[in-house]
Amino acid sequence: MQAVEFRFPDSKARPVNADHEAHLSEAERLMTVCNSCRYCEGLCAVFPAMEMRRAFSAGDLTYLANLCHNCGACNSDCQFAPPHEFDVNVPKVLAEVRNDSYARYVWPGFLAPMFRRNGLMVTLIAALSVAAFVIGFAAWHDPAVMFGTHTGPGAFYKIMPHNTMVAIFGAAFLWSVLAIVMSCVNFWRDIGEPSSTLRDPQALAGGAHDAATLKYLDGGGVGCMAESDKPDDNRRLYHHLTFYGFMLCFAATSVGTLWHYLMGWDAPYPWYDLPVVLGTLGGIGITIGPIGLLMAKFRRDPQLMDESRKGMDVAFIVMLLLTGVTGLALLFLRATPLMGTMLALHLGFVFGFFITMPYGKFMHGIFRGLALVRYAAEKRRAFG
Amino acid sequence: MEHPVDFNKTYDVVIAGGGNAALCAAIAARRAGASVAIVEKAPRFYRGGNTRHTRNMRCAHDSATETLSGPYTEEEFFDDLLRVTQGNTDENLARMMIHQSKDMLNWIVEQGVRFQPSLGGTLSLGRTNSFFLGGGRAMLSALYRTAEGLGVHMTYEAEVTDLEMDGPRFVAAEVTTPNGKRRLVAKGLVAASGGFEANIDWLKEGWGEIAENFLIRGTPYNRGSLLRTLIGKGMTQIGDPTQCHAVAIDARAPKYDGGIITRLDCVVFGIVVNKHCQRFYDEGEDIWPKRYAIWGRLVAAQPDQIAYIIFDARALKLFMPSLFPPITGTSIEDLAGKLGLDPARLRETVDGFNAAVQPGQFDDTILDGCHTEGLEPAKTNWARRIEQGPFYAYPVRPGITFTYLGVKVDAEARVQLADGGRAENIWAAGEIMAGNVLGRGYAAGIGMTIGSVFGRIAGEGAGKHASR
C-alpha cells in the first residue's frame, strides 16, 4: 500500500495507510446516519459522545473510534446493518479508524510503516530478539555455564550479569515509555481536548474506572455479540485475565527491583516470595487470557472486524502469551540445566514485547484509556 | 438453537408473521404448553416487519419507573387515544388493551426485552413511552432468543398464501416457500403478518394512482397476502384502505426500508411549499411530536405528492440531523433553482410569509405564539422570517409506515366472521388488526402496544384452545 501524506494541526506530516482517508469519510457518514437514529445510545459510550456533536472532524472520529470496544451490539441491533443498502457497520469502520490511529500518532513519525504489516514486523522483532539472547548467551558462555544447574541467590546473573540486564531492559523500557507518551501527546492534541482534562481528578478517576472494569465491553449488558445477534462471547473475562495478568507481572518486576536495590536480596526468590507469587499469578493470567482472546477472535463474525489488521492483533496476543508461557516455564525449570535456555527465551520475548509496545496493538489500551478519560470529562460537562 | 418448521408435523399453533405480535403470540402459546411454528416471509436479516424499525411502546403505568419519568394512567392513555383517533376506536377493546398494557411492561421484560430512558431528542415521550435498549431490532432479537429457547419452530422466506377451512374452522395453511408450496396442518392460526403497506397495487385501490409516489418506510415484505385471504374467506373487514400511519419523509429516501433516519423534524422551523411554491398548511400548529403524523397525508394531497421544507441558517441546528444533508442555496432563488422550482414564485411566497410575520420572542422549546397575520394559511407558532442565508430545503414525500385496514377481532383477539359469529380457531394480532383500536391518527409507540397485548392474548388463547 502506498503512503499518503497528511497535514496535522502541529504541521507535522505522517505517512498513514492509504485507506485512512476512506475510513475517515465512511466513519463520518456513519456517525451522521447514527446521529439521526440514536437507537443505540444506551449501549456504550460511543453513541452518547456522538450525540454531543453534529459534525465530525478527523480528531472526533479518532476519539469515537478509540472509545469503541468492538462489542458488536450496535451491529446486531442495527436495522441498517449489511446487507441493508445503507450498509451501516459501525464496529468494523471504527475498528479501521482505530487501527489507523496507532500509525497516525506514532512517535517518531518515520516509524509509521511499522503498522503496515504489523503482524510480520512484530514477529520479526520478537524472533530477532529471542535469537539475540540465545545466540548471545551461547557465544558468551561456555556450555558448562549455559547448560549448568544454578541455584540460590544470583543464579540468573551467572547467565546474564545483573547490570547488563538492567541496562538493556531499562533502555528499552524508557524508550518505549517516551515513544508512548509522545504518541499520546499527538493523539490528545488531534482529538482537540484541552490538556487541563488530564489534571482533572474526576475525569481521570472516571476514565480509569471504565477502563479497569471494561464497562463498555458487554454489549450493553448482555455480553459481546461474536457471531450474530446472540451474545455468545466472553471477551471481557479473557481481557481481564490478560490485563490483570500483565499488571501482576509488572508488579512482580517492580517488587523484584525493590528487593534487589532496597533489601539487597538477589533473584531467584523462593516460590512463596512476593515477586514469584505475583509473577506466577500474572503468568497464568497472560497465558489463559490470550488463549481465550485468540479463540474468540477466530470465532468472531468477520463483519465486525478490520480483517486487514488481524495480523497486528494476533501478533500482540501471541507475544503476551509467549511471554507468559516462557516465564512460567522458567519458573518450573529454573533449578535444571534448561534454566539458561529458558532465561534466554523469556528475556527475548520480554525485550521484544517492550520495544514493540509503541508500535503495535499495545497502543489500543493507552488510547482507549485516554478516550475514556475524555468521555468522563465530556459527560460531566454535558450532564453535570 | 434454531429449530426449523417440520411440514410433516401437526402443530398446535401456526403463527403467520415474525414481528412483535407474532413473537409475543408464539412465546405465550408455547408457555401455555402448545407446539408452535412461526412462518415468516422475510429472510432472517429482515425478519420482524416494522418491529425492526420501532423504538418504544406506550404502556400505562401508575408510577414512575427506572426508565419512565412519571405515571401515565389508563384514563390518560385512553384520552390520548380518543384524541388522536377522533373517536374512531372500539372503546371496549381499547380500554381492555390499555388495562393489559400495564402488565405488558413486566411481561415483555420477562421475555428478555430491556428498556432504557427515552432517547436523546425524544424527551417529550419520556413519561409515556418505554424505549427499547438498542431499539426495535434488539427487542426483536430478545424475543426470538426466548422463543428459540422455548422450542418454538420457525422458518424464514415462507409466507402463508392460502387457508384451508372447514366452515368457521381453520384446518391447514398453504405456505409458499422458495422450494414450492407446502401444506402446514395446525390446530389454530394466529394471523400476525402485518398490514399491506408494501403492496402498492392494494394502496392504489384506496388512493388511486398517486400511491405510486408513496415511499414505504419499512420492509418490502408487508404485502398483506394473509389479510386478503382472510377477508376472502369471510372474515370481517375493518377500516378502509386509505387509513394508515403516514409521515412526510425525505423524498430522496429509497422506495422501501428507509426507516427512522429519513424522518425530518424541521417542518415547524420553516415553511412547507408544494411544487407551485404555495404553502398549504399551518406548519406551527402544535409541537412536532403531536403533529408529525399528519404531514404524510398533507403531502399526499399536493400535486405530484411532493413538497419542500424551506428554512434559513438560524434554524439549521434546532432539530435532529437526518440521513441526507439539506439542499443548500446562497439565496432563495438559488435554492429554488436547485429544487427545480420557479425562483420568482418561491421568492414571492417567502417574501409574503416574511411580511406577515409578527414580532415575538422565538422559543423552539414551547408553543411560542410567534405567528403571522393576514396570511392564508397562517403559521401560528415559531413564525420567524426566512432571511438569513444560506438557505436550506428538504424535499419530502409521503412515507407510509403501516396501514389500518384489517380484520375485526373480539377481546380474545378472535377473528370475527362477516356473517356473524367468530372463527373457531383463528386469532389476529398486530397491524393486521390495528384498525380495531386505531381507526385513524396515531400516537407514538401504540403500534407496539397493540402488537404485544393482542399477540400475548392471541397466543394464550390459541395455546389453550389446542390443549382442550
| Residues B234, B316 within the same domain | no
Domain membership of residue B289 (yes or no) is: yes
| Residues B306, B366 within the same domain | yes
Domain membership of residue A281 (yes or no) is: yes
Of A42, A78, A80, the CB nearest to B116: A42
Distance CA A88, CA B323 (A): 11
| Residues B344, B380 within the same domain | yes
Tally of domains within chain A: 2
Of B138, B321, B323, the CB nearest to A54: B321
Contact B49, B17 (CB under 8 A): yes
Residue B137: list chain A partners with CB under 8 A. 39, 76-79, 229
Q: Tell me whether residues A54 and B317 touch, CB distance under 8 A.
A: yes
Residue with more model confidence, B419 or A142: B419
Three-state SS letters, chain A: CCCEEECCCCCCCEEECCCHHHHHHHHHHHHHHHHCCCCCCCCCCHHHHHHCCCCCCHHHHHHHHHHCCCCCHHHHHCCCCCCCCCCCCHHHHHHHHHHHHHHHCCCCHHHHHHHCCHHHHHHHHHHHHHHHHHHHHHHHCCHHHHCCCCCCCCHHHHHCCHHHHHHHHHHHHHHHHHHHHHHHHHHHHHHCCCHHHHHCHHHHHHHHHHHHHCCCCCCCCCCEECCCCCEEECHHHHHHHHHHHHHHHHHHHHHHHHHHHHHCCCCCCCCCCHHHHHHHHHHHHHHHHHHHHHHHHHHCCHHHCCHHHHHHHHHHHHHHHHHHHHHHHHHHHCCCCCHHHHHHHHHHHHHHHHHHHHHCCCHHHHHHHHHHHHHHHHHHHHHC
| Residues A192, A71 within the same domain | no
Q: Tell me whether residues A76 and B137 touch, CB distance under 8 A.
A: yes
Domain membership of residue B149 (yes or no) is: yes
| Residues A121, A97 within the same domain | no
Residue A39: list chain B partners with CB under 8 A. 55, 119, 132, 134-138, 260
Is the bond preceding residue B390 a cis peptide, omega within 30 degrees?
yes
Of B55, B141, B321, the CB nearest to A35: B321
Q: Tell me whether residues B120 and A41 touch, CB distance under 8 A.
A: yes
Distance CA A111, CA A358 (A): 10
Chain A residue at shortest CA distance from B136: A77
Work out the average pLDDT over A80-85: 95
Can you give the pLDDT at residue A16? 64
Residue B317: list chain A partners with CB under 8 A. 54
Domain membership of residue B4 (yes or no) is: no
Q: Which of B379, B399, B419 is the last residue of a domain?
A: B399
Q: Which residue has cell 422570517?
A: B385
Question: A245 in the Ramachandran plot: left (φ > 0), alpha (ψ -120 to 50) or beta?
Answer: alpha
| Residues B236, B374 within the same domain | no
Distance CA B403, CA A237 (A): 47
Q: Tell me whether residues A42 and B134 touch, CB distance under 8 A.
A: yes
Q: Which residues contact B345 (CB under 8 A, 6 or more apart)?
A: B276, B277, B336
Q: Tell me whether residues B260 and A39 touch, CB distance under 8 A.
A: yes
Residue A121 is part of a domain; what is its CATH number? 1.20.950
CA distances from A285 to A242, A277, A281, A321, B15 (A): 5, 12, 6, 9, 49
| Residues A156, A281 within the same domain | yes
Domain membership of residue B428 (yes or no) is: yes
Q: Tell me whether residues A37 and B135 touch, CB distance under 8 A.
A: yes
With pLDDT > 90 as the criterion, what percentage of chain A qualifies? 78
> What are A270-279's pLDDT values in tens digits?
999 999 999 9
Q: Tell me whether residues B121 and A38 touch, CB distance under 8 A.
A: yes
B355 touches chain A (CB under 8 A): no
Contact A62, A33 (CB under 8 A): no
Can you give the pLDDT at residue A245? 97
| Residues A84, A138 within the same domain | no
| Residues B46, B181 within the same domain | yes
Residue A74: list chain B partners with CB under 8 A. 134
Q: Which of A73, A104, A135 is the last residue of a domain?
A: A104
With pLDDT > 70 as the criterion, what percentage of chain A qualifies? 95
Domain membership of residue A213 (yes or no) is: no
| Residues B303, B335 within the same domain | yes
Chain A residue at shortest CA distance from B253: A86
Chain B residue at shortest CA distance from A37: B261
Q: Which of A104, A138, A166 is the last residue of a domain?
A: A104
Q: What average pLDDT does the structure give for chain A?
A: 91
Among residues A165, A139, A151, A328, the alpha carbon closest in space to that of A249 is found at A328
What confidence tier does A228 reach under pLDDT thresholds 50, 70, 90? low
> What are A325-378's pLDDT values in tens digits?
999 999 999 999 999 999 999 999 999 999 999 999 999 999 999 999 999 999
Task: Quote the minimal CA–CA distance from B313 to chain A in Å.
Answer: 15
Tally of domains within chain B: 2
B317 touches chain A (CB under 8 A): yes
Domain membership of residue B6 (yes or no) is: no
Distance CA B243, CA B251 (A): 21
Name every residue in A having a CB less than 8 A away from some CB of B: 32-33, 35-43, 48, 51, 54, 73-74, 76-81, 83-86, 220-222, 229-230
Residue B116: list chain A partners with CB under 8 A. 41-42
Residue B335 is part of a domain; what is its CATH number? 3.90.700.10
Chain A residue at shortest CA distance from B131: A39
Can you give the pLDDT at residue B423? 97
| Residues A176, A130 within the same domain | yes
Domain membership of residue B5 (yes or no) is: no
| Residues B218, B256 within the same domain | no
Q: Which residue has cell 454531543?
A: A52
Domain membership of residue A179 (yes or no) is: yes
Of B52, B117, B321, the CB nearest to A32: B321
Q: How many CB atoms lie within 10 A of CB A254?
A: 12
Q: Which of A69, A104, A139 is the last residue of a domain?
A: A104
Which domain does A128 fall in, by range? Answer: 116-199+218-383
| Residues A69, A124 within the same domain | no
| Residues B281, B156 within the same domain | no
Residue B119: list chain A partners with CB under 8 A. 38-39, 41
Which domain does B253 fall in, by range? Answer: 247-399
> What are A282-313's pLDDT values in tens digits?
999 999 999 999 999 998 888 999 999 999 99
Distance CA A122, CA A319 (A): 9
B261 touches chain A (CB under 8 A): yes
B204 touches chain A (CB under 8 A): no
Residue A83: list chain B partners with CB under 8 A. 45
Measured between its terminal Cα atoms, the distance across chain B in Å is 29
Residue with more model confidence, A115 or A151: A115
| Residues A229, A377 within the same domain | yes
Can you give the pLDDT at residue A219? 85
Can you give the pLDDT at residue A94? 98
B55 touches chain A (CB under 8 A): yes
Q: Which residue has cell 445510545?
A: A41
Q: What is the dihedral of CA B133, B223, A81, A39, to 10 degrees?
A: -20
| Residues A292, A348 within the same domain | yes
CA distances from A248 to A280, A283, A324 (A): 9, 8, 11
Q: Which residues contact A38 (CB under 8 A, 6 or more apart)?
A: A47, A51, B119, B120, B121, B320
Half-sphere exposure (Cβ direction) of B139: Cα atoms closer than 13 Å: 31
Distance CA B172, CA B188 (A): 9
What confidence tier does A6 reach under pLDDT thresholds 50, 70, 90? very low
* Radius of gyration for the alpha carbons in chain A, expressed in angstroms and rounded: 22
Q: Give the three cell numbers for residue A260.
A: 534487589
Domain membership of residue A174 (yes or no) is: yes
Contact A324, A286 (CB under 8 A): yes
Can you give the pLDDT at residue A7? 37
What confidence tier does A3 reach under pLDDT thresholds 50, 70, 90? very low
**Which of A25, A32, A37, A39 is most worth mutating to test chain B (most B CB atoms within 10 A of its CB)?**
A39
Distance CA A286, CA A295 (A): 14
What residue ranges of chain B have pLDDT lower than 50?
A: none
